[in-house]
Amino acid sequence: MENETKKAVKNTEAEGIKASASPAETPEAVVDKNSPAPKLKIERFSPRQLMELDACTRCGECSNWCPAYDQDQRESLTPRGRATLYKDIIDRQHGMFSADTFLGKLAGKKPVTIAEMDDFAKDLYACSTCMQCHYVCPVAIDTVELWERIRETIVDIGHGPLPDQKALTINTKNYDNPWAQPRSSRGRWAKMAKKKKRIKDVPKDISKKNAEVLYYVGCTASYDNNVEEVAINTTKIFEHADVDFGMLGSKEKCCGSVLLRVGDKVSFDRISTENIQQFNDLGIKTLVTSCAGCLKTIKEDYKKVAKMNFEVKHTLELIVDLIKAGTLKLKKPVNLKVTYHDPCHLGRHAGIFDAPRELLSLIPGIEFIEMERNRENSRCCGAGGGLKSGYPDMQNLISQKRVDDALETGATELVSACPFCYQGLQVGIQAMDAPIKMRDITELVCMALSDDDEEKKPAAEAASEAK
């Protein structure tokens, strides 16, 4: 499998892994690179986070697991290297021995230059924020929170994010989605699915008609034609189980994950505050999403912004509840050999490891095989944290490693529970032309639904669908 990976990436190897572009390569950055960089806003951190920079023992366990370092063996890419470099920058700008103090000059400290800051920023974004480093760190440093705060300070002084990441944040601010799609077409997938009889009806507009459950679709499943199946299957399952649900349609906004991950905290605070206000006003009991990134953001990050009056669940958690309650019955055998990829934001970030495995065990006929690296040690697909947009070549290579893991199990289906992982892993499958099919877990659930619905369909419709 290693050979296949190597073959598929020969171009990137020849050129080396590069960022989409460096912040310093942008036209506005025509400045003397050796002049002192602006001071970082140290107040963005908590005292604990600044302490964490001292807590690193430099044992290097993180480098054994870091997916980015796995592809590009530069020390500055490791969590250890990042913490060491940033600590040095902070010390030189804000410490007792900072370059502008008498003691600092006595100790020979030099100001941090723009060139140094640029180099640091480029490597800072070569990270998928997968959180593997936290789980293997013997000191349990809360790494991803730390990286995200560091990114905020870098964005403050205009050295981040990388240009392609910046495009996503600008789109999110202008269109409420990173893909620069009009707000009005956010619910288009539902209308099309209804037209094609894939779902019974377009989910009700929850802002007009109350419902217990808000299905928060997320930007990727809403706009990406290749991933809209996730939204369609989720809707189909909810319809099947008679869930009282609705969606926001054109009024749904991005959860802001993309903003937070690359360090645009100001914009994230705005969009998250607006979203929380909107969600709270709906009077829902549960917000459900099929996207691991949205789940992590809404469940874990929003609670640091404001209080929410509803619970947040991933779709698969609700599906397990429905099956246990007897509302949803999975009768049809799905005779597939399946392996499961834990999305970083669902597993390591939100602690949801058991529910997907329980759901797979409830689907009749499935032969489930674990990959060697699973649960807390699941290998990242490389799509998160802005890595896919900032370092597409690196993401491709990381993804192929994960596809390799899946192929080693002998499974024919690679299943996950995140549209972003779906996209990310698909990159690897295509690059390797791997004999494995990428599926979202909702697709398997739909395959196991009883044939009742299908039987009800008029023959002409079924024929048209097949066509």
Partner 1 sequence: MYANKLYFEATALLYTLSVIMILIVIAGMFASVSLWTKGKKPSLYHAINLPAIIKAFICDVVLQLQILKISFIRWLMHLCIFIGFMGLLAETSVMAFMSHFLSPDNAIVKTFFDYESGGGARILDVWGEVFGLMLLFGLAIAIIRRYIIPAKQLETISKDTVSILFLTAIGLTGFFCEGIRLTYPEYASVASYSFAGNFLAGLLKAMGLELMNYKTWVWVHAAISILFIIYIPFSKAWHIFVSPLEIVIDASERA
Task: Give least dist CB 44 to partner 1, A.
Answer: 7
User: Which has the closest alpha carbon to 342: 362, 324, 359, 328?
Assistant: 359
The answer to whether residue 44 forms part of the interface with partner 1 (CB under 8 A) is yes
Residues 391-450 that bind partner 1 (CB under 8 A): none
Nearer to partner 1, 90 or 415 (CB): 90
Task: Pick out residues in 97-116 that bind partner 1 (CB under 8 A).
Answer: 97
In whole angstroms, the minimum distance from the beta carbon of 68 to partner 1 comes to: 15
Should residue 49 be labelled a site residue for partner 1 when binding is judged by CB under 8 A? yes
Which is nearer to partner 1, 179 or 353 (by Cβ)? 353
Reading the block at residue 431, the tokens are 């690059």
| Per-residue contact string for residues 51-70; x = within reach of partner 1 by CB under 8 A | xx-xxxxxxxx-xx------
Binding track over 292-321 against partner 1, x by CB under 8 A: -----------xx-----------------
**Smallest distance from partner 1 to CB 144, Å:** 13
Task: Write down the residue that tokens 């506005």 correspond to.
Answer: 28
State the binding string over 252-271 for partner 1 (x if CB under 8 A, else -).
Answer: --------------------
Q: What is the DSSP string of 61-100?
A: HHHHH-HHHHHS--GGGSHHHHHHHHHHHHHHHHSTT-TT
Q: Is 246 helix (H, G, I), strand (E, B) or coil?
A: strand
- Which of 207, 235, 238 shows the shortest CA–CA distance to 222? 235
How far apart are the C-alpha atoms of 239 and 268, rounded to whole Å?
Answer: 33
Q: Which stretch binds partner 1 (CB under 8 A): 46-54, 218-226, 249-257, 325-333?
A: 46-54
For 305, the token pair is 């912004």
Within residues 122-161, the interface with partner 1 by CB under 8 A covers 136, 138-142, 149
| Selection from 106, 67, 66, 109 nearest residue 90 by Cα | 109
- For partner 1, which residue of 12, 22, 84, 377 counts as binding (CB under 8 A)? 84
List the strands of the sheet with 286-289, edge to edge.
204-205, 245-247, 213-216, 286-289, 311-314
- Cβ 148 vs Cβ 129: under 8 Å: yes
Structural element, H or E, at residue 413 = strand 413-416
Taking CB under 8 A as the binding criterion, the range among 6-14, 36-44, 118-126, 372-380 that sits at the site for partner 1 is 36-44
Q: Does 466 bind partner 1 (CB under 8 A)?
A: no
Q: Give least dist CB 59 to partner 1, A.
A: 7
Q: For residues 76 and 355, what is the distance between their CA atoms, to the nearest angstrom?
A: 36
- Give the footprint of partner 1 on this chain (CB under 8 A): 42-52, 54-61, 63-64, 75, 78, 80-81, 84, 90-91, 94-97, 136, 138-142, 149, 303-304
